[in-house]
Amino acid sequence: MRLIRLSLLTILATVFLLSCKSNSPDVLLSRLYINTNVDDLSFGDYSKALVSYFLGDSTSVFNDCKAKIKYRGNASSHYDKKSFSLKFNKEKSFGNFACNKVWKLNAEYIDKTFMRNKLSYDLFRKFDKNNYAPHITYVEIYLNNEFRGIYAITERVDRNRLGLSKKEKSAVLFKEPPISEPPEKHYENFDGFIRFCNYAEFYKDFSKKSFNKLLREAYYNQRFPDVEKRNMKKLIFDITDFIFNSADELFANPDSFNTYFDLNNILDLNLLLLISNNSDGLLKNFYLYRKAQNQPYMFSPWDYDHGYGRDGDGEPNRTSILDVSRMKLIGRLIQLNAFNYRQKLYDRFIFFKQNNILTSDNLNKMIDANIKLLATSIKKNEQIWPPEKVSFFKDADFNSEIDLMKEWLDNRLPEVESYLKELSAENQ
């Protein structure tokens, strides 16, 4: 009897200790030290830097590696906490991610949870192994040995990460291409963007080299191959002509449609837009790429720090379902119900629900895993970037935004399911 009691006590003590351990924020963030001349930093040109990287336990990964750094961002450029692009002389890796020379250091300044981007990208990859979205890891950044806060080290969507071959002449990558604009508008819009760039104050400090690069990439946003070596803008005209002007029979024909797009990839993007309610993702905030002539174009999400309960202006998200038809490609698929698209969209949601991907339980676990990563550094970050100093939702902080996000998702999942069920029943 005494042995039984001791065994029970041992078991209870073990359970207690394990529960304490699982709830304790025992993860220390890695640290990235960047030494550079801050006065030389700009949005247009890189400046020289030396970079060192240490794990949370102070293990050195690399020291004083030569690199270049510049500010990055458009709408976020006026925020006090700046984001950076970091370009190493030799390929480097963070965590278990693939080596690369270029990395994005996102400040996540207006996203007080730090995880709207990460949650979106991780979810999109869970939908399908063929989906690519950037990997993210968190880090403390020290600029000239001064703590500058928590940053999200983010993979850049580029040729290397997408596996695009320089030998494949049909391989291409666009960032935010204007595929929801009809082909007859492209030249006019391009001229308008050039005029805007020439007068916008934001670009006044760009060097001539950087400004000319901006103009070459403007509007069509070709990121691979180098637009000077092979200009692929004709593809945008071809894609948008198919989306806008092809006959219904041609658009809904699998032989023709599949040469342009991967239907499952579009379904997954559609679901991500509905779950996140990220309206910016309809017309921009995505990459479009193709690996070879005989392969379809694929979408990769980018910049999802709006949504999950917050709009870009900091106001609460609209409670209504996002009008995904504003993205012309998705709108036409829904309108024509090509390939039984409405039913496929509902069935895919149900499949992800049944496989514990699109469930409150799974999404809360994904959020809690990120909380564990961030918890030890949040207070430290808030000391130099007080939550109330952000012009958006001044009364919110990390904990209240997490609560808002979880509540949003708990409500949003059944709303999306109900919407998709009704949509699938239309015109049956």
Alpha carbons 192 and 317: distance in angstroms, whole number = 31
49 lies in some domain: yes
Residue type for 223, please? R
Alpha carbons 222 and 129: distance in angstroms, whole number = 25
Per-residue pLDDT, 96: 85
Task: Determine what percent of the chain falls in helix, strand and coil, rounding each to the nearest 5.
Answer: 45, 20, 35
The tally of domains found in the chain comes to 1
DSSP code, position 359: S
Can you tell me which residue has the tokens 């709207």? 116
Strand 47-54 with 298-301, pairing: unpaired
**Among 140, 61, 134, 63, CA closest to 103:** 134
Alpha carbons 205 and 193: distance in angstroms, whole number = 18
The structure's pTM equals 0.90
Residue type for 59, please? T
Alpha carbons 101 and 68: distance in angstroms, whole number = 10
- Give every residue of the chain whose pLDDT is below 50, as ranges: 1-25
Reading the block at residue 142, the tokens are 């020290």
Per-residue pLDDT, 10: 41
With 0-12 / 13-18 / 19 or more C-beta atoms within 10 angstroms meaning exposed / middle / buried, residue 168 is middle
Domain coverage including residue 104: 30-155
**Among 265, 244, 108, CA closest to 178:** 244
Give the tens place of pLDDT for each residue, 1-13.
444 443 444 443 4
299 lies in some domain: no
Residue type for 11, please? I
Report the mean per-residue pLDDT for the chain: 89
Residues 6+ apart with CB under 8 A from 247: none
Per-residue pLDDT, 392: 65
**Among 81, 36, 28, CA closest to 54:** 28
**Among 109, 101, 65, 102, CA closest to 83:** 109
Per-residue pLDDT, 175: 94
428 lies in some domain: no
Phi (first) and psi of residue 118, to 5 degrees: -60, -45
**Dihedral class, residue 97 (left if φ above 0, else alpha if ψ from -120 to 50, else beta):** beta
417 lies in some domain: no
5 lies in some domain: no
Alpha carbons 155 and 134: distance in angstroms, whole number = 5
Specify whether the CB–CB gap between 299 and 128 falls below 8 A: no
383 lies in some domain: no
- Residue 210's SS3 state is helix
Terminal-to-terminal C-alpha distance of the chain:
68
Per-residue pLDDT, 315: 66
Per-residue pLDDT, 306: 84
276 lies in some domain: no
Give the tens place of pLDDT for each residue, 359-402.
999 999 999 999 999 999 999 999 999 988 776 677 789 999 99
Residues 6+ apart with CB under 8 A from 304: 116, 117, 119, 120, 121, 272, 276, 278, 281, 285
- Residue 91's SS3 state is strand
